[in-house]
Structures are given as C-alpha cells and as structure tokens.
Structure 1
Amino acid sequence: MASDPKRFVFSEVSVHNKTKDCWLIIEGKVYDVTPFMEDHPGGDEVLLAATGKDATDDFEDVGHSDDARDLMQKYYIGEVDKATVPKKRAYVAPTDRNYNPDKTQDFIVKILQFIVPLVILGLAFVVRSYTKEKSA
C-alpha cells in the first residue's frame, strides 16, 4: 500500500529558492526542480521567479505539453498545506549571488567580444588591399 505523501507548510517550501535548491508549488503539489534547473527550456530564472508562491498560474499560462506534465512526476516530493500558502506573494529578493536575471546582457557581451575583433580584422584587410592598389 502506498504511503501518504509528505506534507509541507508554505514556509518550509519557500526557503528553497536558489539555483542549487529550488522547490515549486503547482496545484498543491511540491516539486524539487533543482536537477532540472539547467535543462528547463525557459531557463533557470523562470523557475526561480516561481518560488515563494503558488506557481500554478505561471505554469498554466505557459501552456506546458503533456510530456512536460509527465516529467513533473519525476520531481514530485509531496503536498503543501494550502491553508499556509499566502494569497499574495511577498517579494523575496534572490539569495543566489550567481543569479543573473538578465542573461541577455551576458549574451550581448559575448557576441561583441567575438564580432569586434572580426570587424577590426576586416577593416585591416580592406585598408591593406586599398593601399596595395594605390601603390601599384
């Protein structure tokens, strides 16, 4: 006979709000999604933004596939006492020092680090070709 699922109060779940320790509440169930952080198609910041509240609306608004819903069972760890979940979420600043909510900036820097030397090299090639034509 299957044992009853572990029961958590909201305060127990809400402290798991870091990249290396991330739990979510969806439809009254608690999921430890820590192992899925790097693989989540929306990125780890999406999962981190869903901590500290009932993430059901966030999950449903995205329109997850049946495969995604099946995958969730792998991370299921118990149930939350719904009476302990606040109706409104209080803002909780990320506690993860490596958390970068705007990875776009990192991406732009990496692209520029690649493109700028290519542009300089291209300009040098054009100037060299131009000066060779002038001297010939």
Structure 2
Amino acid sequence: MAGEKKVFGFEEVASHNVTKDCWLIIAGKVYDVTSFMDEHPGGDEVLLAVTGKDATNDFEDIGHSESAREMMEKYHIGEIDASTIPLKRTHVTPQQVPGNPDKGDDMLIKILQFLVPILILGLAFAIRQYTKSE
C-alpha cells in the first residue's frame, strides 16, 4: 500500500477549482496545489485558469525549470482516469473564494506607495525653501 497513488475521475478533479481547494491535471497525474497557491510565481490566477481541464500544454508552454518539475512531486496525489476525460469540454470559469482579506491590504499598500514618495518630495521642497529663506 505504501507509495500507491489513488486514481481520480475527471469530474472529481475538476470540482477542486478554488483558491482554498485547487487540483490540477498535468501529464496524466493529479496534483493538489492548494498549499502552493500563494507561492506560485505567476500567482493563483494562473493556476485557477487551468482547473477543469488537462493543464499539460499550459504547463509545458511556460517552460518550467527542472527544479519546478522536481517540486511538483510533493503535490502529486494520484493519477487521472483517462477514460473519464471528456473529448471536448467547454471552459468553466473557476470560482473564487469571496472576500479575500489580503486584497484590502493590497489597496492600502498601493495608496501608500503613491503617497509616501509625494510626502518625501514635499518635505524636501519645504526644507529647501526654508533653508533658502534664511
């Protein structure tokens, strides 16, 4: 039993299509990448975009490094039952988990990234004007 991987049906894998529960099919293998969503260099949107289909071509088109391919093994949870893969499947938009609390923080960071340099320039200008008047 040790080392034996489970065989999953396509619909079961396709149902794991949100940030908090994301599975992918690559080269006949099933990967649970849920814990990797925040770490993926391309962001979670890239991974969510390839749920509900065989993501092999998308994965290969990017040209992932050998270390990325080795890293995948820790997310490998089983194999896909090829007989359950539809010949043609319409695109299903992945469902996002509503209300990601980190998104509000992103807006604050963007505002600060804009305002802080302006405040620094204003302060520098004020100091320059003050020293000129003396």
2:36 matched residue in structure 1: 36
2:61 matched residue in structure 1: 61
Number of equivalent positions: 131
In 1, the alpha carbon distance for the partners of 2:35 and 2:85 equals 24
**1:17–1:119 Cα change, 3 Å:** same
In 2, the alpha carbon distance for the partners of 1:23 and 1:84 equals 16
Q: What is the deviation of 1:54?
A: 0.2
Q: What is the deviation of 1:92?
A: 2.2
Correspondence 1:114 to 2:107: no
5+ residue gaps, structure 2, are: none
Q: What is the deviation of 1:39?
A: 1.8
5+ residue gaps, structure 1, are: none
1:24 matched residue in structure 2: 24
The percent of aligned pairs where both chains have the same amino acid is 52
Correspondence 1:52 to 2:36: no
1:38 is matched by which residue type in structure 2? D
1:36 is matched by which residue type in structure 2? F
Correspondence 1:85 to 2:89: no
Q: What is the deviation of 1:97?
A: 3.0
Q: What is the deviation of 1:9?
A: 1.2
TM-score, L = length of structure 1 = 0.76
TM-score, L = length of structure 2 = 0.77
Q: What is the deviation of 1:5?
A: 3.3
